[in-house]
Amino acid sequence: MATTLYRIIKHGFQNFWRHRLTSVATLFITVLALLVVGGLIISNAVEQQATNTLQNKIDISVYFKTTTSEDDILNVQNQLEGLAEVQSVQYISQTQALSVFESQHQNDQTITQAIQQLGTNPLEASLNVKAKDPSNYSQIASYLENPALSSMIDNVSYQQNQVVIDRLAKIVNYMRWGGLALTIIFALLAVLVAFNTILLAIYSNREEIEVMRLVGASNTFIRGPFIVEGVIYGVIAAVLSIVIIAPITYFLSPYMAVVIPSMNLFGYLTSNLIAIFIYELLAGIAIGVVSGMIAIWRYLKV
Final residue belonging to a domain, choices 104, 132, 161: 161
Least confident of 96-110, 117-131, 228-242: 96-110
Q: What angle in degrees, to the nearest 10, is found between the helix axes of 219-259 and 273-294?
A: 140
- The predicted model gives 255-264 an average pLDDT of 79
Q: Is residue 124 a contact partner of residue 154, using CB atoms and an 8 Å limit? A: yes
Judge if 177 and 293 occupy the same domain. Answer: yes
User: At 16, is the pLDDT very low, low, confident or very high (cuts 50, 70, 90)?
Assistant: low
Beta strands in the chain (DSSP E): 60-64, 86-92, 126-131, 153-156
Nearest to 286 by CA among 244, 235, 216: 235
Instruction: Put residue 236 in one of left, alpha, beta given phi > 0 → left and psi -120 to 50 → alpha.
Output: alpha
Cα–chain center distance at 101: 37
Strand order in the sheet with 86-92: 86-92, 126-131, 60-64, 153-156
Per-residue pLDDT of 160-180, as tens digits, reads: 666 666 676 677 677 667 767
Judge if 214 and 238 occupy the same domain. Answer: yes
Judge if 293 and 175 occupy the same domain. Answer: yes
Judge if 38 and 179 occupy the same domain. Answer: yes
Judge if 83 and 144 occupy the same domain. Answer: yes
- Look at residue 148 and tell me whether its pLDDT is greater than 60: yes
**Residue-level pLDDT at 59:** 81
Q: Is residue 131 a contact partner of residue 100, using CB atoms and an 8 Å limit? A: no
Judge if 218 and 283 occupy the same domain. Answer: yes
**Residue-level pLDDT at 231:** 80
Least confident of 188-192, 212-216, 257-261, 297-301: 297-301
Q: 67-73 long-range CB contacts below 8 Å, 24 or more apart? A: 68/125, 68/152, 70/125, 72/152, 73/125, 73/127, 73/152
Per-residue pLDDT of 28-79, as tens digits, reads: 877 887 887 788 788 778 877 877 777 777 788 889 988 888 898 899 899 9
Judge if 72 and 181 occupy the same domain. Answer: no
- Look at residue 157 and tell me whether its pLDDT is greater than 60: yes
Judge if 278 and 228 occupy the same domain. Answer: yes
Judge if 50 and 63 occupy the same domain. Answer: no
**Residue-level pLDDT at 147:** 84
Domain, as residue range, for 133: 59-161
Q: Is residue 56 a contact partner of residue 134, using CB atoms and an 8 Å limit? A: no
Q: Is residue 63 a contact partner of residue 161, using CB atoms and an 8 Å limit? A: no
Judge if 294 and 207 occupy the same domain. Answer: yes
- Inter-CA distances, 297 with 201, 213, 294, Å: 14, 14, 5
CATH code, 128: 3.30.70.3040
The most confident of 22-26, 130-134, 178-182, by mean pLDDT: 130-134
Final residue belonging to a domain, choices 140, 161, 182: 161
**Residue-level pLDDT at 113:** 72
Final residue belonging to a domain, choices 134, 161, 188: 161
Q: What angle in degrees, to the nearest 10, is found between the helix axes of 273-294 and 20-56?
A: 130
Judge if 250 and 231 occupy the same domain. Answer: yes
Judge if 188 and 48 occupy the same domain. Answer: yes
Per-residue pLDDT of 224-259, as tens digits, reads: 777 777 788 788 888 998 999 999 999 988 888 877
What pTM value is reported for the model? 0.63
The rounded distance, in Å, linking the Cα atoms of 161 and 141 is 11
Domain count along the chain: 2
From the number of C-beta atoms within 10 Å of its C-beta (0-12, 13-18, 19+), residue 259 rates as exposed
The rounded distance, in Å, linking the Cα atoms of 245 and 2 is 38
- Look at residue 21 and tell me whether its pLDDT is greater than 80: no
The rounded distance, in Å, linking the Cα atoms of 151 and 147 is 8
Rounded to the nearest 10°, the torsion over CA 20, 236, 42, 85 is: 130
**Residue-level pLDDT at 78:** 92
